[in-house]
């Protein structure tokens, strides 16, 4: 499927969209005042060690310390080769102590209340390779399936590896069919970049930023362009020039795909992307058949509920359910990519009886995730119709990046009904009953609550006023949320 990359750069924000057949597949955002730190290398200082959790916290100069587990410090490949498959990790306090300074790289952005995740196993990426200076491991992307090509690339890796340095490489998918000279050039560039990182780290005091990854528009050129990319559209002349030079130098076959457009019509509007971005923030996702998905993100996990909606089918119920589930399984991978949802995902498919139908739904889900650059793990459908899966999370989701918890409901998604608030008001008045012996009562509340007090609950208000021997008055506060109210004392009006 041919793809188009749309790059829009303003003074405040960079947005990169991946579009296929007019549909938004992925959206990446980078705000200039909150630029991400994924991939950055820091000289950090250990500030706390948790031996029981085999973990440590490292100050990297951010608002929250970075988290590291023992697996972020120890090369499991090396230990398995040296000590066998039954090796045990050393205790973390044998490797680290408070105050120790070390180079670390951010592998996961700060998410919610959690700080960044970091590793001491630094890796540097280029178009074709990932360079790992601390391990001699050699690997080839599993997306390269041609055995002859894998063998060729393996031979090239063996030639560029330098045993005296003890370094390693992973071949990226973009390296497929690349000339050996291009691969060698990438390897030497990465080695030179690493030497600069080491030199800067040696002369810096922790915490310090040693290396920053490329800005979003350049990361997109390095990481997103593939054989399906047919067009690259940019709306900023300066960025166009930078990208043009990069493509000519490193991906010459894609240089002709680059275009710059005038600013007469905003680039994302011209490609009908703004509405698609807004739709990606909605809980409900309509399916062509009339069914729909409901996607809810929580701290612990994301749930996807599949519903038939208006789709009743032309045959029996089982066939209707199967078709809806198939359509949902095809749509869910795109929605997870588009919304950048990671972590645990539970999909509640509509219950099916036929085992072959269940297998086909899972196969459809697996096929859809093959286009994703992020790693997935998918289980079979359980007896309850649930599929448990994980998608590697490295950034905040699109919802968390673009939205904040609702100040009215405090992020719950619900507010108390006017009836509930009125009953709370009555209880509050009863608590203050003695204070109303010499004062009148004024209820300050939202319009919807006052309307109910004057209508459906008017008999209750009169009964309460008579029982307390006071007058109850109302005051609408336009700035109050539906749940907010005050019961205040007022000078008694002349009778």
CATH number at 98 reads 2.40.50.140
b/e per residue 297-310 (b: at least 16 CB within 10 A):
beeeebbbbbbbee
Q: What does the pLDDT read at residue 57?
A: 96
Q: What does the pLDDT read at residue 84?
A: 58
Helix (H, G, I), strand (E, B) or coil at 240: helix
Provide the sign of the torsion angle of the four alpha carbons 146, 148, 154, 157, taken in this order: negative
Instruction: Please check whether residues 285 and 425 belong to one and the same domain.
Output: no
Distance CA 4, CA 257 (A): 9
Instruction: Please check whether residues 385 and 333 belong to one and the same domain.
Output: yes
Instruction: Please check whether residues 250 and 333 belong to one and the same domain.
Output: no
Distance CA 348, CA 362 (A): 12
Instruction: Please check whether residues 271 and 129 belong to one and the same domain.
Output: no
More confident residue, 303 or 164: 303
Here the CATH number for the domain that contains residue 267 is 3.30.420.60
Q: Is 114 left (phi over 0), alpha (psi -120 to 50) or beta?
A: beta
> What is the residue whose two structure tokens read 């300074």?
101
| Inter-residue contact 143 to 173 (CB < 8 Å) | yes
Distance CA 5, CA 221 (A): 9
Instruction: Please check whether residues 219 and 207 belong to one and the same domain.
Output: no
| Inter-residue contact 331 to 319 (CB < 8 Å) | no
Distance CA 471, CA 469 (A): 7
pLDDT band of 244, cuts 50, 70, 90: very high
| Inter-residue contact 235 to 273 (CB < 8 Å) | no
| Inter-residue contact 38 to 89 (CB < 8 Å) | no
Percent of the chain, pLDDT > 70?
95
b/e per residue 410-432 (b: at least 16 CB within 10 A):
eeeeebbebeebbeebbeebeee
Instruction: Please check whether residues 329 and 433 belong to one and the same domain.
Output: no
Instruction: Please check whether residues 165 and 58 belong to one and the same domain.
Output: yes
Looking at residues 25-47, what average pLDDT do you find? Answer: 90
Closest CA to 339 of 266, 287, 292, 402: 402
- Is residue 407 situated within a structural domain? no
Q: Helix 447-454 vs helix 458-468: angle between axes, to the nearest 10 degrees?
A: 80
Is the whole-model pTM more than 0.75? yes
Give alpha helix (H) positions in 96-138.
none
Which of 6-15, 32-41, 240-249 is least confident?
32-41
Distance CA 203, CA 74 (A): 25
Instruction: Please check whether residues 203 and 312 belong to one and the same domain.
Output: no
Q: What does the pLDDT read at residue 152?
A: 92
Looking at residues 96-119, what average pLDDT do you find? Answer: 90
Range of the domain at 30: 3-34+215-275
CB-based contacts of 74, cutoff 8 Å, min separation 6: 89, 90, 95
Q: Is the pLDDT of residue 79 over 60?
A: no
Helix (H, G, I), strand (E, B) or coil at 467: helix
Instruction: State the CB neighbour count (10 A cutoff) for residue 352.
Output: 18
- Is residue 184 situated within a structural domain? yes
Instruction: Please check whether residues 338 and 433 belong to one and the same domain.
Output: no
The domain boundary, picked from 402, 429, 450, lies at 402
Q: What does the pLDDT read at residue 142?
A: 83
- Is residue 471 situated within a structural domain? yes
Distance CA 418, CA 30 (A): 41
Here the CATH number for the domain that contains residue 473 is 3.40.1260.20
> For 198-241, what is each residue's pLDDT tens digit?
999 999 998 999 999 888 999 999 888 888 899 999 999 999 99
- Is residue 164 situated within a structural domain? yes
> For 386-403, what is each residue's pLDDT tens digit?
999 999 887 888 998 898
Q: What does the pLDDT read at residue 43?
A: 94
- Is residue 120 situated within a structural domain? yes
- Is residue 306 situated within a structural domain? yes
Q: What does the pLDDT read at residue 230?
A: 92
- Is residue 199 situated within a structural domain? yes
The domain boundary, picked from 377, 402, 427, lies at 402
Alpha-carbon distance values, 214 to 38, 105, 238, 436, 487 (Å): 10, 14, 16, 67, 57
Instruction: Please check whether residues 308 and 191 belong to one and the same domain.
Output: no
Q: What does the pLDDT read at residue 11?
A: 87
Instruction: Please check whether residues 97 and 205 belong to one and the same domain.
Output: yes
The domain boundary, picked from 185, 211, 237, lies at 211
What is the number of domains present in the chain? Answer: 4
Edge-first strand order for the sheet with 472-476 is 472-476, 439-445, 485-491
Looking at residues 327-333, what average pLDDT do you find? Answer: 93
> For 136-161, what is each residue's pLDDT tens digit?
888 898 888 889 989 999 999 888 88
Q: What are phi and psi of 231, to 5 degrees?
A: -150, 140
- Is residue 287 situated within a structural domain? yes
Instruction: State the CB neighbour count (10 A cutoff) for residue 49.
Output: 20
> How confident is the prediction for the chain on average, in pLDDT?
88
Instruction: Please check whether residues 186 and 117 belong to one and the same domain.
Output: yes
Give alpha helix (H) positions in 271-373.
274-279, 317-339, 355-369
């Amino acid at each position: 499927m041919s793809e188009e990359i749309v790059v829009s750069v303003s003074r405040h924000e960079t947005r990169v969209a991946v579009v296929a057949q007019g549909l938004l597949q992925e959206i990446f955002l980078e705000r200039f005042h909150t630029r991400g730190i994924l991939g950055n290398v820091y000289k950090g200082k250990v500030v706390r060690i948790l031996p029981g959790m085999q973990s440590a916290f490292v100050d990297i100069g951010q608002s929250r310390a970075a988290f590291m587990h023992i697996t972020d410090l120890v090369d499991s490949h090396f230990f398995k080769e040296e000590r066998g498959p039954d090796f045990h990790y050393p205790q973390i306090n044998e490797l680290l102590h408070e105050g120790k300074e070390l180079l670390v790289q951010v592998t996961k952005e700060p998410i919610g209340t959690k700080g960044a995740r970091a590793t001491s196993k630094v890796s540097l990426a280029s178009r074709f390779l990932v360079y790992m200076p601390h391990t001699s491991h050699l690997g080839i992307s599993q997306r390269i399936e041609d055995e002859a090509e894998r063998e060729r690339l393996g031979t090239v890796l063996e030639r560029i590896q330098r045993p005296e340095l003890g370094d390693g490489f992973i071949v990226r998918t973009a390296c497929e069919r690349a000339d050996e000279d291009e691969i060698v050039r990438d390897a030497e560039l990465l080695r030179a970049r690493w030497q600069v990182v080491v030199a800067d780290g040696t002369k810096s005091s922790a915490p310090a930023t040693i290396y920053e990854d490329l800005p979003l528009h350049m990361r997109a050129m390095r990481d997103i362009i593939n054989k399906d990319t047919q067009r690259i559209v940019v709306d900023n002349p300066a960025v166009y020039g930078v990208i043009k030079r990069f493509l000519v130098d490193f991906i010459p076959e894609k240089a002709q795909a680059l275009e710059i457009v005038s600013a007469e019509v905003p680039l994302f509007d011209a490609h009908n992307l703004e509405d698609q971005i807004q739709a990606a923030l909605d809980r409900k996702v309509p399916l062509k058949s009339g069914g729909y998905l409901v996607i809810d993100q929580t701290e612990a996990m994301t749930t996807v509920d599949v519903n038939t909606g208006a789709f009743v089918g032309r045959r029996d119920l089982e066939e209707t359910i199967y078709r809806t589930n198939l359509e949902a399984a095809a749509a869910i991978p795109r929605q997870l990519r588009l919304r950048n949802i990671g972590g645990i995902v539970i999909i509640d498919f509509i219950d099916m009886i036929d085992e072959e139908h269940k297998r086909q739904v899972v196969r459809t889900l697996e096929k859809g995730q093959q286009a994703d650059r992020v790693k997935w793990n998918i289980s079979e459908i359980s007896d309850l119709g649930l599929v448990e899966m994980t998608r590697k999370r490295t950034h905040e989701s699109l919802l968390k990046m673009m939205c904040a918890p609702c100040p009215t409901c405090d992020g719950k998604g619900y507010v108390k009904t006017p009836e509930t608030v009125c009953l709370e008001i009555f209880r509050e008045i009863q608590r203050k009953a003695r204070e109303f012996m010499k004062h009148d009562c004024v209820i300050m509340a939202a319009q919807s609550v006052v309307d109910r007090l004057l209508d459906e609950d008017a008999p209750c208000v009169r009964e309460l006023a008579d029982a307390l021997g006071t007058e109850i008055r109302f005051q609408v506060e336009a700035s109050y949320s539906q749940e907010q109210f005050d019961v205040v004392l007022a000078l008694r009006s002349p009778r």
